[in-house]
Amino acid sequence: MAKVGIKGEGGFNLSPLINFFRNRIFQGIIIGIVTYTIIFGMMFLVLSPKQYDLAVGDIVEEPIKAPRDVEDRMLTEEKLEQSREKVPSVYRLDEQITDDAIKQTYNIFDSIQMIRYRVDQRIKSIVSELERELEARETAKAQERIEAGEEGQDDIIQGNNEDEELEREDTDDEEDTMKVEEPDKRTILDDHFLLELSEELPIKLSKEDIITSIMEEHSELEILQQELVQIVENVLKAGIKQENIYEARNTIRESVRNLPISAELKVLGGNIGSNVIIANMLYDHVATEAEREKAVALTEHVVYKKGQYIVQAGEPITENQLEVLSELGILRDNVIDISFTVGIGVTVFVVLLTTSLYLAFFDREVASSPAKLLIISTALIFILAISYGISLVNIYLIPTAMMGMLMAILIKPKSAIVVNTTIAILVSLLLEDGLGLGIMALCGGMAGIYILDAPEQRNTIVISGIVAGAINALTIIGIDLMGTATYNTTFVTALYALGGGFMSGVFTLGLLPVFENLFKVLTPLKLVELSNPNQPILRRLLMEAPGTYHHSVLVANLAESAADSIGANSLLARVGAYYHDVGKLKRPYFFKENQLSGENPHDQLNPTLSTHVITMHTKDGLDIARQHKVPDKIQDFIVEHHGTTAVRYFYHKAKSKDENVRLEEFRYSGPKPQSRETAIVMMADTVEAAVRSMKEPTPAKIEGFVQKLIKEKLDDGQFDECPLTLLELSKIAKSFTSVVTGIIHERIEYPDIDLNKNGDMANEN
């Protein structure tokens, strides 16, 4: 048969869309988004600071506190700039400059030696020229004498006289030759020659300095050279910055003046030293910037701490303060404080995401149940809201432990632990009390969860609240004693914390029925309430079908013991057993345990009709349970406790009349047990009814019979859809044997004695 889909207008198939919205993952995501949006909105509304309409120069009537840490950027920039300016520039000594200056000094003196050499050469050239002139004159005179001898010798006397005269002239010529001397150096140092000499020097020196360098003795120049090189080296090694170059040159001149040399050489040395000296301490931009950055990094920023007054009452607002207020987003003409909003959004998202991931990986039963996720979401939102309201009285009076206690009862302790951690974080963020409140909420909630591990009495909830309050108080005492709080303040705070724990118990007790009815949650307390014999359905069962009621009580005992043996929910199994046969209320006398007269209506019915009457008690029970608003989990016991087993008695009866009868026509409609608890009740129901029919039961017979009954159910496939293991089936069989043996014990047969004859009646009276 084709499956018909739901179609909208125009023939569009809506079934995939409807199935998508019914998907548990989709529903869980929607619940998460809604939860996040509501909690984010609460955080934003509560934590957003009060807004003001202010301008520079306005005077406020009340001081304005910083709702969070905020930096005064303008003052910080000024402070950082001051720190930068205080850092001196970094210079590095360039050794190469020092070496070059010393080399240049040596080069200058080498050049001086060169020009001195040129002067000497020029002097020699002049002397040579003079000597050649004298030699030419002597040659001319000799020629004249020779010419005079060829003309004849006059008289001897005259000749003698002439010879004497010639001798005298020769003597005079020799005297002239002896008079050729080196000219004075100053006489040859004309401007043109000095200009040529200056070009030989690597530095520019004055005419007087050049003359001095030429005229002074070589030994004196050597002394000047040695001393000047040492002076230049010492000054340069000390380091010279560009701005100190003038002082360095003066230092050199002063040092040269103290040398034991002539005044002219002192001037020359000072000029040479001044020329070779240059700055060798060079500005290091990279190092300077690095030092400045270090200074900036060490400079403390101007920050208003949370709770610190930014503007005092009665004082005009400065531009700096207005900028800080603007950054905090508390000016009315401001846009939303982006960093503040994003901070809240990210924090809430991370907290809820962490909780969701824990449930998804370690508690999939809860994560895959939209109903349970909705319970957690509702509880989170409600407790955050009520915590904020109560915090207006005192922050430590808030009932934070209520979250863990509610979750331990409504869901399970394992889930309650992580949800309690979530509420502790969110409350500490919402109320901005930080570490102290968060630790108190965490520890108090954990204590409440431990006490409520298996709550079956409402007094346990109150006790749990008191214990949580005591843990709250101890936590606050410890935190306050580590701080600066006084003993009186600590004592008062501890009392509020104790009260908060007690209120957690009271609120949990009051909210449980609301959550139970709103979300159809079956809590241990609700189970205890359902097990009360005064429940209308159980009272009817007792009055209208007492045999079934007695049978249900015995089945409950068997089921509870078996559930305990394998770690299942024993209370749920017991209560489920109480209600599993309520369908027999519709036709109680069609069931053997209620037939007191010995008449059996089935004797008048054919096997098929009898089977229909018998198997209908599961559906009838479901109708009755729904009328009395019995929880769904209990309804599961009603429809699953027979699964799809066959009514063998009527099957065999029908088979004896018609061989073509099919076994499937004599089975219950099911479904098969879906949980361990409903499977246990199925086995307990079978064992209790079957064992009563045993003749001469013994422990060994009972054990073998119980194992046989359970094996038949297993072979029939009744446990295929529930998470029972063979080991657990073995434990269940042992538990059934132990309980049944205790119920059907061997009784002592009393003798038939006439008490009146023996006088025992009087004694008994």
Residue 308 resides in a domain: no
- pLDDT above 70 as % of the chain: 87
In this predicted structure, what is the pLDDT of residue 654? 83
Q: Which of 79-88, 159-168, 382-391, 414-423 has the lowest mean pLDDT?
A: 159-168
Q: Of the residues 276, 296, 313, which one is the last residue of a structural domain?
A: 276
Give the per-residue pLDDT at 161: 54
From residue 211, alpha-carbon distances to 108, 119, 197, 257, 687 in Å are 15, 10, 10, 19, 140
CB neighbour class for 68 (10 Å; exposed up to 12, middle 13-18, buried from 19): middle
Report the predicted TM-score, pTM, of the whole model to 2 decimal places: 0.63
CA nearest to 465, candidates 480, 485, 448, 488: 448
How many CB atoms lie under 10 A from the CB of residue 697?
A: 18
Backbone φ and ψ for 395, nearest 5 degrees, come out as: -65, -30
Least confident of 145-159, 293-307, 475-489, 586-600: 145-159
Residues 564 and 713 grouped into a single domain: yes
Residue 44 lies in a domain: no
Q: What is the pLDDT of residue 548?
A: 92
Alpha-carbon dihedral sign for residues 211, 216, 219, 222: negative
Nearest to 685 by CA among 741, 616, 740: 740
Instruction: Please report the pLDDT score of residue 624 as a whole number.
Output: 94
Residue 683 has a pLDDT of: 95
Q: What is the mean pLDDT of residues 567-572?
A: 93
For residue 662, tell me if it sits in a domain: yes
Query: Amino acid letter at 414?
Result: K
Q: 177 pLDDT exceeds 50?
A: no
Dist. CA 579–CA 622, nearest whole Å: 10
Same domain, yes or no, for 370 and 223? no
Is 309 inside any structural domain?
Answer: no
Residue % of the chain over a pLDDT of 90 = 33
Which range (52-56, 182-186, 291-295, 319-323) has the least confidence? Answer: 182-186
Residue 481 above 90 pLDDT? no
Of the residues 261, 276, 291, which one is the last residue of a structural domain? 276
Q: What is the pLDDT of residue 454?
A: 62
From 212, 243, 276, give the residue that closes a domain.
276
**Within 10 Å of residue 417's Cβ, how many Cβ atoms?**
20
Same-domain check for residues 98 and 192: yes
Average pLDDT over residues 387-416: 90
Contact 252, 270 (CB under 8 A): yes
**Backbone φ/ψ region at 59: left (φ over 0), alpha (ψ -120 to 50), beta:** beta
Sign, Cα dihedral of 565, 568, 570, 576:
negative
pLDDT for the residue numbered 745: 57
- Quote the pLDDT of residue 760: 43
Q: Residue 698 is part of a domain; what is its CATH number?
A: 1.10.3210
Same domain membership, residue 733 and residue 598: yes
Tens of pLDDT, residues 663-677: 888 899 889 999 999
pLDDT band at 154, cuts 50/70/90? low
What tens digit of pLDDT does each residue of 700-757 get? 888 999 999 999 999 999 999 999 999 999 999 999 999 988 877 544 444 554 545 5
| Residue 65 per-residue DSSP state | E
Is the previous residue joined to 202 through a cis bond, with omega within 30 degrees of 0?
Answer: no
CA distance to 698, 746, 752, per residue, from 749 (Å): 17, 9, 9
Q: Of 329, 324, 323, give the one whose Cα is nearest residue 308.
A: 324
| 141 and 172 within one domain | yes
Query: What pLDDT score does 453 carry?
Result: 67
Residues 122 and 267 in one domain: yes
Domain count, the chain: 3
Residue 199 included in any domain: yes
Same domain for 380 and 420: yes
pLDDT surpassing 60 at residue 5: no
**Same domain? 702 vs 555:** yes
What is 121-187 written as a DSSP string? HHHHHHHHHHHHHHHHHHHHHHHHHHHHHHT----HHHHHHHHHHHHHHHHHHHHHHHT--PPPHHH
Asked if residue 414 is part of any domain, the answer here is yes
- pLDDT at 530 (0 to 100): 92
What pLDDT was estimated at residue 749?
Answer: 45
**In this structure, are strands 309-311 and 303-304 parallel, antiparallel, or unpaired?**
unpaired
- The residue-averaged pLDDT of 531-544 equals 93
pLDDT (tens digit per residue) in 213-259: 778 888 888 888 888 889 888 888 888 888 888 888 888 888 888 88
Tell whether 706 and 613 lie within a shared domain.
Answer: yes
Judgement on whether residues 544 and 505 belong to the same structural domain of the protein? no
Q: What's the mean pLDDT in 433-458?
A: 83
Q: Is 343 domain-assigned?
A: no
Asked whether residue 496 carries a pLDDT value surpassing 90, the answer given is yes
Give the whole-angstrom CA distance, residue 137 versus residue 139.
5
Residues 253 and 130 in one domain: yes
Q: How confident is the model at residue 664, as a pLDDT?
A: 85
User: For tokens 């949006």, what's the residue?
Assistant: 37
For residue 601, give every residue at least 6 positions away whose Cβ sits within 8 Å of its Cβ, in sequence order, or none.
Answer: 589, 590
Rounded distance, CA 94 to CA 92, Å? 6
Q: Are 280 and 240 in contact (CB under 8 A)?
A: yes
**How confident is the model at residue 399, as a pLDDT?**
93
Handedness of CA 72, 78, 80, 82 (dihedral sign): negative
pLDDT of residue 22: 61
The residues with which 173 forms a beta bridge, in sequence order, are none
Average pLDDT for the chain: 83
Domain annotation covers residue 244: yes
Identify which has the larger pLDDT, 578 or 459: 578
What's the average model confidence in pLDDT over 486-506? 90
Residue corresponding to tokens 């724990």 = 501
Whether the pLDDT of residue 277 is over 70: the answer is yes
Q: Name the nearest CA neighbour of 275 among 259, 252, 244.
A: 252
Determine the pLDDT at residue 165: 56
Give the DSSP per-residue string, 448-473. Answer: HHHHTSS--SHHHHHHHHHHHHHHHH
Span 67-77, pLDDT tens digits: 777 778 888 88
Top mean-pLDDT range of 127-141, 271-285, 415-429: 415-429
Position 640 scores a pLDDT of: 95
Domain carrying residue 415: 352-515
Provide mean pLDDT across the span 323-345: 76
Judge contact between 313 and 122, C-beta under 8 A: no
pLDDT for 341 beyond 80: yes
pLDDT beyond 50 at 3? no
**Residue type at position 366:** V
Whether 2 has a pLDDT exceeding 50, the answer reads no
Least-confidence region, from 42-56, 277-291, 363-377, 378-392: 42-56
N-term to C-term CA, the chain: 79
Judge if 544 and 653 occupy the same domain: yes
